[in-house]
Amino acid sequence: MKSILFVLLVLVLATGLSLWYTTRPVQAQVVTFDTGQISCAGTVTALVTASQQRTGLLITNPGTVAVYIGNTAVATNTGAYLPGGGSVSLPTKSAVSCISSGAAQTVTFIETYNTF
């Protein structure tokens, strides 16, 4: 056994390989959040802007009027239907907008961010 270890040590030293390694310090990650309320009416309304730091977005429709969720060109025939009392969680970094086919409806959101 000693001779095998000696041979391995000689090979390591002869080839210049290092048995030592280094580690990078771990950077602390802090999760913060932002909340808001937006009134969605018959025209496209920006709900949240694009953010590369966003890790999650929860949109809730606490009212009774349905709204449609999508990108900045959302329409009532192309958006994701969000009924009154409904919620949707989106893992997106993109801008999100809303529109209503009826009366104006207040929509709430909470978005989370990674900050370093």
Question: Domain 26-115: which topology?
Answer: Jelly Rolls (2.60.120)
pLDDT of 29 higher than 70: no
> What value does the mean pLDDT of the chain take?
84
**Between 2 and 18, the higher pLDDT residue:** 2
Structural domain spans, the chain? 26-115
DSSP 60-85: E--SSS-EEEESTT--TTTSEEE-TT
Checking if the pLDDT of 63 tops 90, the result is yes
Question: Residue 15: which pLDDT band, with cuts at 50, 70 and 90?
Answer: low
Query: Residue 102: is its pLDDT beyond 90?
Result: no
Under 8 Å CB-to-CB from 24, ≥6 apart: which residues?
A: none
